């Protein structure tokens, strides 16, 4: 079945009204939770086959997050879906006013390769909760996971409700040529522009979850050991292939030598002195990404790491120093296990370094100085972030996750996912028994009264 036929079937199914009842949506979310549990090992093995991601990471950062999100959504969905009453206005007195959340229709979810299960299915939770049908396009870069998603979801869902379409760039383009009612894309800024251009042809609304160079500041007032431990965890999780990983580190010069030493110590504690033998350290997803990342190793001095094996797609956790501001590693999103470390003396220097770059998806600062914290958070624009931690802010349902500027538009997680995939429909209801003639022509002598009323 081609993309046009698939979308037509989904449109027909949506127009039947089958997806609109809250009971139906909850039942489908329960089904999604069941299939994740029953096929847990299958998904873990698929992800491992694609880039040797350890089972604990796959469960914690993909399957576990999905279970948590689905359970939370099921618990809250009836409340979210209720019409919301709002106040009326004097000019429309008497009236009752309310807001209804309705599904868009058929949505397209284009998922990336780095968290290939989570980032395909987490948006689906919101799409189902809002009452839409969905077509999921997983990444061809992780073919084993893509195949598993297609096979498993194909067994549990009718394709007119949820379908998985596999393939490469040509399939993506074919899907983007169709008139979906909403497009949700996670990936690079470069491809995000292509998606937005395609969506504009049909005036299709979009959410773009992109990336960027997410900075992390460490000042001299913080607990350096804890900061180093958390940064090493967040940076080298998934071998650095995380859109919200700290992309580069800005460390106050007075504590930079100590911080570098602690980074080395914690890398060795986590992965041993030979990370290639560690069962807890994944691989780079393919040789093209390996070559791109290896090229960055020439952009500065290697303080720690730097070993690489192309046949194994292995790059050691690497810390770099003495990097020029115009080096590629400081211009492009790294998306790998390479951590540039730069120094600063005054916090204003760090802010200046950050603000000359496009607005990042994530931002982190380690400090015990409340004035520094307030200054930096006010001065820097970013999608979301954390104080004294990294990455973990994604685990809160009550925080929207999304970018700003070149790091994306729109947000999801928790209720924000439901809102993203829902059209907000405003309704005013007026009684017929009272019809004040003031608004009707002729208007002579009414302007001064209108001005008083609207003031």
From 57, 160, 216, 243, the catalytic residue:
243
Convert the chain into a string of H (helix), E (strand) and C (coil).
CCHHHHHHHHHHHHHCCCCCCHHHHHHHHHHHHHHHHHCHHHHHHHHHHHHCCCHHHHHHHHHHHHHHHHHHHHHHHHHHHCCEEECCCHHHCCCEEEEEEEECCEEEEECCCCCCCHHHHHHHHHHHHHCCEEEEECCCCCHHHHHHHHHHHHHHCCCCCEEECCCCHHHHHHHHCCCCCEEEEECCHHHHHHHHHHHHHCCCCEEEECCCCCEEEECCCCCHHHHHHHHHHHHHHHHHCCCCCCCEEEEEHHHHHHHHHHHHHHHHHHHCCCHHHCCCCCCCCCHHHHHHHHHHCCCCEEEECCCEECCCCEECCEEEECCCCCCHHHCCCCCCCEEEEEEECCHHHHHHHHHCCCCCCEEEEECCCHHHHHHHHHHCCCCEEEECCCCHHHHCCCCCECCCHHHEECCECCHHHHHHCEEEEEEEECCCCCCCHHHCCCCCCCHHHHHHHHC
Q: Is 209 a catalytic residue?
A: yes
From 209, 316, 333, 373, the catalytic residue:
209
Which positions are annotated as active-site residues? 209, 243
């Amino acid at each position: 079945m081609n993309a046009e036929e698939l979308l037509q079937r989904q449109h027909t199914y949506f127009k039947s009204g089958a997806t609109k009842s809250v009971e139906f949506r909850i039942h489908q979310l329960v089904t999604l939770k069941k299939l994740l549990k029953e096929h847990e090992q299958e998904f873990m093995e698929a992800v491992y086959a694609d880039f040797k991601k350890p089972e604990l990471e796959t469960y914690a950062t993909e399957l576990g997050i999905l279970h948590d999100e689905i359970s939370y959504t099921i618990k809250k969905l009836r409340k979210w879906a209720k019409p919301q009453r709002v106040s009326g206005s004097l000019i429309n007195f008497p009236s009752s006013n309310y807001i209804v959340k309705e599904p868009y229709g058929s949505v397209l979810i284009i998922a990336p390769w780095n968290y290939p299960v989570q980032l395909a299915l987490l948006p689906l939770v919101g799409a189902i909760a809002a009452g839409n049908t969905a077509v999921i396009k997983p990444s061809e870069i992780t073919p084993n996971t893509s195949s598993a998603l297609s096979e498993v979801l194909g067994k549990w869902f009718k394709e007119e409700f949820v379908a998985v379409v596999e393939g490469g760039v040509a399939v993506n383009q074919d899907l983007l040529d169709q008139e979906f009612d909403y497009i949700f894309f996670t990936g690079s800024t470069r491809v995000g522009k292509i998606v937005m251009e395609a969506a504009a042809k049909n005036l299709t609304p979009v959410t773009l979850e992109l990336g960027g160079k997410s900075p992390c500041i460490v000042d001299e007032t913080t607990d350096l050991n804890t900061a180093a431990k958390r940064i090493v965890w967040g940076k080298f999780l998934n071998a650095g292939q995380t859109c919200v990983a700290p992309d580069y580190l800005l460390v106050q010069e007075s504590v930079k030598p100590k911080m570098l030493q602690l980074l080395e110590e914690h890398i060795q504690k986590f992965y041993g002195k030979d990370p290639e033998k560690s069962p807890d350290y994944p691989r780079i997803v393919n040789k093209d990404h390996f070559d791109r990342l290896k090229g960055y190793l020439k952009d500065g001095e290697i303080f720690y790491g730097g070993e690489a094996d192309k046949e194994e797609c292995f790059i050691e956790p690497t810390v770099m120093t003495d990097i020029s501001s115009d080096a590629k590693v400081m211009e492009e999103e790294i998306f790998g296990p390479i951590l540039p470390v730069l120094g600063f003396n005054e916090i204003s220097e760090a802010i200046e370094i950050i603000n000359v770059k496009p607005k990042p998806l994530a931002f982190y600062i380690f400090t015990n100085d409340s004035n520094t914290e307030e200054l930096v958070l006010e001065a820097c624009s970013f999608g979301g972030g954390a104080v004294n931690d990294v990455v973990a802010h994604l685990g809160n349902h009550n925080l929207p996750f999304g970018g700003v500027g070149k790091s994306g538009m729109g947000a999801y997680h928790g209720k924000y996912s439901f809102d993203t995939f829902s059209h907000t429909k405003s309704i005013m209801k007026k009684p017929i028994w009272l019809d004040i003639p003031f608004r009707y022509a002729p208007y002579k002598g009414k302007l001064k009264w209108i001005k008083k009323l609207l003031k």
